[in-house]
Amino acid sequence: MIQHTSEQRPLVQMRQVQKFFGDFQALKDIDLDIQAGEVVVVIGPSGSGKSTLCRTINRLETIDSGEILIDGEKLPEEGARLAKLRSDVGMVFQSFNLFAHKTILENVTLGPMKVRRLPAAKAKEEAMALLERVGVAHQAQKYPAQLSGGQQQRVAIARALAMKPKVMLFDEPTSALDPEMINEVLDVMVTLAKEGMTMVVVTHEMGFARKAANRVVFMADGQIVEVAEPEEFFTNPQSARAKDFLSKILTH
C-alpha cells in the first residue's frame, strides 16, 4: 500500500446524506470523510448507490438532506460558485465522454480555456504535458474515435486533471474496456495515487484496491456497510453482505 504523508485535512465530508429518487432511497445516512491524499475504493453490488454517491460529490445529483463539503466549503446550489467548486472535483466515467468532434488536444484544452480562462497557448502547453503524462501525446491531433478505449480513457483522465481538481472521482473507469487495456488505465491511476492525488474510485479491480487504496468502502442498499483497509476487507470481511458479495466476485 502507498504510504501517505499528507496532513489530516478532509477534502470531502459527507454528513448524514440522504438521496431519494421519488420514493426510492438511493443513499441512506451517508457519513464519509476523505482526507487530502487519500485513495478510497468504493465497492458493492449493482444498484447499491456507488454512482449516485460519486454524482452527489460533484453535484451532478442534488441531495435531499445532510451536507457535503469540499475542502471545507459546502456545495452551493447553483451559480458561479458551484461551477468553481465543481471544477475542484474531476470525474471520469465508465464511458469515455470525450467530445467526438474535437481533437484529443481540444478535448483537454477546452475546459481550462473556458472555466480557468487560460490563454490558448498556455492551455495547450499544459494539455500536452498531461497527454504526455498519460502516454497519448503523440495522438493529440486525432479524434476520439481514432483511439482505442484505453487511450480514450487516459485522455478522459488528462481532461479531468487539466482543471486542476482537488479530488478525482472515477466511476468504474475500466469496466467498458477490453481486458488488455485495463492495466494501462489502472497504471495511470496508481501513478496519480502515488503522487498524492485524492481519489474516490468505484471499481471491482481488487489489484488496484490492494496497490493504491487506503480504505475500501463497501456499500449495499444505499448504505455504507463496511469501511476497512483493502487487505483487511478482502481477506476478512465482517458483514454477511460483504462476504456474500466477495464470494460472488471472487469466483468470476
Ligand X SMILES: Nc1ncnc2c1ncn2[C@@H]1O[C@H](COP(=O)(O)OP(=O)(O)OP(=O)(O)O)[C@@H](O)[C@H]1O
Choosing among ligand X, Mg ion, none, which partner's interface includes residue 59 (Cβ < 5 to 8 Å by kind)? none
With CB atoms as reference, the residue minimizing the distance to Mg ion is: 51
Whether 108 contacts 161, CB under 8 Å = no
The neighbouring-strand residues paired with 227 are 217
Q: How many other CB atoms are found less than 10 A from the CB of residue 28?
A: 16
Residue 49 contacts which entry, ligand X, Mg ion, none (Cβ below 5-8 A, type-dependent): ligand X
Chosen from ligand X, Mg ion, none, partner binding at 52 (C-beta under 5 to 8 Å by type): ligand X
Q: Which does residue 109 touch among Mg ion, ligand X, none (CB within 5 to 8 A, set by kind)?
A: none
Contacting residue, 37, 50, 152, 226, with ligand X by CB under 6 A: 50
8 A C-beta contact, residue 208 and residue 230 = no
Q: Using an 8 Å Cβ cutoff, are 200 and 50 in contact? A: no
- For residues 104 and 202, which CB has a smaller minimum distance to ligand X in the complex? 202
Instruction: State whether residue 200 is helix, strand or coil.
Output: strand
* The binder of ligand X chosen from 36, 37, 51, 174 (CB under 6 A): 51
**Minimum separation from the CB atom of position 44 to ligand X (A):** 6
Kindly give, in sequence order, each residue whose CB lies less than 8 Å from that of residue 29, ignoring residues fewer than 6 positions away.
16, 17, 18, 223
Strand order in the sheet with 73-74: 24-35, 10-21, 65-70, 73-74
C-alpha cell at 161: 486533471
- Residues in 44-103 at the binding interface with Mg ion, rule: CB under 5 A: 50-51
* Binding pattern for the stretch 8-47 against ligand X, x by CB under 6 A and - elsewhere: -------------x----x-----------------x-xx
Binding site for ligand X (CB under 6 A): 21, 26, 44, 46-52
